[in-house]
Structure 1
Amino acid sequence: MKQSTLIIFLVIFSLLFTLHTARVNNQSKHGRKLMSKHSIHSAIGVQENLMITDYTKGGDSGGPAECDGKYHSNDKFLVSLPTTWYNDGKNCNKGINISYKGMDVIAVVIDECGGCSDDVLVASKAVWRGLHVPESQWGDEIQVIWSYVN
């Protein structure tokens, strides 16, 4: 009985190892890093400078959101990611947790900030309000920590 259990375990382990190896090889062939900046940041959080934008038509966001081609209300928890984090739209509609001085909000990625450096996160007024940043500081860059919501 013990020998058959061991054989079953080895077969299952072998299958899982083969599937994992195939997945890793497939990712490598497509130019993906196994431990990318994105996976590191989603695991530990990233310190960024938070900036504010206006997602409404005529606002300072520069046009409709890249993810859906629409304008949005500033009363929603929305963010734009720099080009690296935006990742050709692969992070559209993902939730991110943003923390500032003990306050947390979850915002949705709707846009790319093409001219932003990798250490900048751009957010709607609702995010700033939700983080309890005084309106007198809106527009100032503040330091936040963010990570992807699983």
Structure 2
Amino acid sequence: MSEFDELQGIIQRHAERRQAEARACETFLHALYHALRSASGPGLPLNNVTLDVVPDPLHRLRPTPTGGFHAAWLRLGLCEVLVRVRRYDGAFQGEYGDGGVFRLDTTGEDDLLALARRILKDVAATYAGEPLDHTLSRLN
């Protein structure tokens, strides 16, 4: 068997696991989008939020290997923020904007709302020229 055939076989054997991980990460990104839309509180939806799932611009391989990041641009009114997320040790681990990071062990509505509000706060701080508090990388 050639190295090429071995590579193709490995990619095929792990396709189901990669696809399940990609679906989980994309579902997370969609849930985060909905959390951002409702981050202002009940009855106060943010209508200027859109989601565009994209290939992770930092990936050098396609399809994305297991454990790799999945990405989306979230438009927040006048700006856009890139959010990257992956599954790591059973949690969702990710990064956003200029240095924001997170890890969610659970993805309930309250967890996602807390992350959405933190993203809004950190993006506002970035545009205001304020430093981000990177010590809060774990939300729960």
- TM class by shorter chain equals 0.3 to 0.5
The alignment's TM-score, normalised by the length of structure 2, stands at 0.36
Determine which structure has greater relative contact order: mean sequence separation of CA pairs < 8 Å that are 6+ residues apart, divided by chain length: 1
Larger Cα Rg: Structure 1 or Structure 2?
1
